Structure 1
Amino acid sequence: MRKIGCVLLALLPLTAWAYPIEVEKHLNGLGIDYKAFDTDADIGSILVNNHGKTDARCTVVFRNGPESPRTRKIEVPAGQSRNATAKFTRSIITLRLDLTCVPK
């Protein structure tokens, strides 16, 4: 039993690894909130929620160091949420997101 506990404690740091995510937002007065995720070592995603009464058109730019930025455009109807993801060729060290939303 003691050996199993030691093995589980040794594997604990492997499960807690994640990269930092920085989000710069330009919401233009809309009722938008977001949650950024580290989906995989080379995939980042963001969940955009629209709590307002106006539909929104959002643009998300994913940046990972020297690689070219990935741009995703999503439309988020009022009271709903949408997800945007980007896959990179290298492992992500720090993911920087620019979230810009305007009324539709």
Structure 2
Amino acid sequence: MNKFCCVLLALLPLTAFAYPIDVQKNLNGLKIDYETYDTDTDMGSIKVVNYGDVDAVCKAVFSNGPEAPRTRSLEIPAGKHKNATAKFSRSIIKLRIELSCTPK
């Protein structure tokens, strides 16, 4: 029983807590895809990929509860991708990202 408890306690640091990320998107008919990452306990990021034939201008607004939202602007050429990150002063419990894109 002691060995089982020691193994269980040794594996405890391997369990990582990932917070949920909600994305609300307004893509205006553009061929845009995204992927979100929980980079750290107080940092989140989004990768925005432009699969279309026209350049896009995107705005990502990161919200984490009571803190002020962080806004990131991205200019994404056709066929390319860009990343945006936001760091908060508190640990993230649930991250909300509003992604809006328009043709350039």
Q: Same fold (TM over 0.5)?
A: yes
Q: Which runs of 5+ in 1 are unaligned?
A: none
Aligned-residue sequence identity (percent) comes to 58
What value does the CA root-mean-square deviation take over the aligned residues? 1.6
Provide the TM-score with structure 1 as the length reference: 0.89
Specify the alignment match of 1:62 in structure 2: 62
Deviations 1:42-72 (A, max 9, x none): 0000000000001000000000000000000
Q: How many pairs does the alignment contain?
A: 101
Cα distance in 2, alignment partners of residues 79 and 28 from structure 1: 17
Provide the TM-score with structure 2 as the length reference: 0.89
Specify the alignment match of 1:21 in structure 2: 21
Deviations 1:75-103 (A, max 9, x none): 00000000000000000000000000000
Cα distance in 1, alignment partners of residues 64 and 30 from structure 2: 27
| Counterparts of residues 1-104 of structure 1 (less than 5 Å) | 6=8, 9-13=11-15, 16-104=16-104
AA at the equivalent of 1:98: E
Following superposition, which runs of at least 4 residues in structure 1 exceed 3 angstroms of deviation? Answer: 2-12
